[in-house]
A and B are shown apart, each in its own frame.
Chain A
Amino acid sequence: METTLRITSARAGSSFVAGIEKISGQKLLACYQCGKCSAGCPMAAHMDVLPNQIIRMAQLGMRDQLLAAKSIWMCVSCLTCNSRCPKDIRIAEVIESLRLTVLRSGQRDDNLHIMELSPDACAVLPPIATISAMRKLTS
């Protein structure tokens, strides 16, 4: 990712960073980039930005890149990262707050279009699958 960043104290206090910290209840600056979250992430192979990179980019207020990342929809809230982070950061909560930032924008920018699923798919899926997917991926 080719991005030039200018780091100033004003940027670090941007409303985006404050919003993510508020929704997630996490202190982003606690992360010291050990990478343990990404090492154990079962979805890492399907991600464009790894969990530790998400935390770094969130610290830096890289709003547009984060909200466009495929990773925020691939994270499945398994909480492996949370339970292993030596700094007790709840990475999954940070990623949930990124999803919510998109889903609460009022644009109905959903990541799942349940009405477009084939009747065959709908016939076999248990309610636990469809309800949880809709809860996580739709506004």
Chain B
Amino acid sequence: MGNENKPMKLAYYPGCTLKNQAVNFDASTVSSMAKLDVEVEELDRWNCCGTVHALNSDNVMNRVAPVTNLIRVKEAQASELMTGCAMCYNTLKRANIDVKSRADALATINDFLSLEKTKYEGDVDVLHLLEYLRDRVGFDNLAKKVTRPLKGLRVACYYGCLLVRPKEVAFDDAENPMVMENLVRALGATPVDFSHKTECCGAYHTVDKPEVIADRTDKIMGSAHGERADLMVVSCPLCAFNLDFRQDDARRLNPDFRNMPVLYFTQLMALAFGCDEPSLRFDLQHIDPLPVLKARGLVQETLDRAPA
């Protein structure tokens, strides 16, 4: 960690959904990083990353949107970019790896972006927030900032696809990642070991095939319930939507389905760091986490839903 008086600065890419349905992810990221003395600076003029990495190898068009963001990082006099959204991370990182390893693709993109004053030369690194917390902050240092230890809280850490696949972007084991469990432990909570932590939630099928998502949500949340988790934490707003909002569909599919709150890992961090409700925004969760947090004695009765 940097000098005591001067907070470290870090270029930050929120992504589209963090400015819409997932402002709880954005607010809790910014406020918990401030508690760690890291000032996240939102990238100027960022654009949508494109959401998915195109898997074809004969067309570089889909790399233009991510590369434009990497140019903005250079324009901000930075050499690395942090994002908390697993999908943005995956797309930005994969495009970066692709253009770094293919000079012809990079030249084509720079030609296409000829109106940009800055050329991209593969000279920016893309980091996920969890990676930053583990490798730069360190979980031991992070634990020192905890003012409200999440004692007794049983947490299922869900990774989904994008943090662990493909191996070029993974910063942890593909089949049994532990970085979120180690974070949760540093916050004083108890991570649970459950079978479905890297099983896909069904992703964009939620748009026109919610019945497919209901089945995935039933299986994933069911496996966390099997290990007596109180709640689940995620790093992707699409996983969050599917696992939280689609619980209504899961209940229609399986009458024995039981609800479980789904939070962003940054919300859990902000809670443990003593941040207040505007940084937590639990009012945006579909399944209300307050009953279970109150039952564990982690929030006061006064921390209530929906500030007017």
Contact = CB atoms under 8 A, between A and B. Distances in A.
B256 interface: no
Given A90-B55, A126-B17, A127-B20, A76 B203 contact: yes
Given A76-B200, A78-B203, A79-B161, A93 B55 contact: yes
Contacts of A124: 245
B35 interface: no
A130 B20 CA distance: 13
Contacts, number: 118
- Overall SS of chain B's interface: loop
Contact of A129 (B56, B57, B241): B241
**Chain A interface bracket (under 10, 10 to 19, 20 to 34, 35 or more):** 35 or more
A112 B48 CA distance: 21
B247 to A, nearest CB: 13
A76 to B, nearest CB: 5
A80 B59 CA distance: 24
B202 A126 contact: no
Interface in A109-134: 112, 114, 117, 121, 124-133
A47 to B, nearest CB: 11
Interface stretch (A7-15, A20-28, A31-39): A20-28
Interface string B9-35: 000000111001110000000000000
Contacts of A24: 55-57
A126 to B, nearest CB: 4
Interface in B233-276: 236-238, 241, 245
Given A112-B207, A132-B238, A42 B166 contact: no
20 contacts: A43-B200, A43-B202, A76-B200, A78-B203, A79-B165, A80-B161, A92-B55, A97-B55, A100-B56, A125-B206, A126-B237, A128-B85, A128-B236, A129-B207, A129-B241, A130-B204, A131-B48, A132-B238, A135-B50, A135-B51
In the A-B complex, the 10 residue pairs with the smallest Cβ-Cβ separation, listed nearest first, are: A78-B200, A25-B57, A133-B204, A96-B55, A79-B165, A133-B207, A132-B51, A132-B204, A126-B21, A128-B17
Interface of B: 15-17, 20-22, 48, 50-52, 54-58, 62, 85, 87, 161, 164-167, 174, 198-200, 202-208, 212, 215-216, 236-238, 241, 245
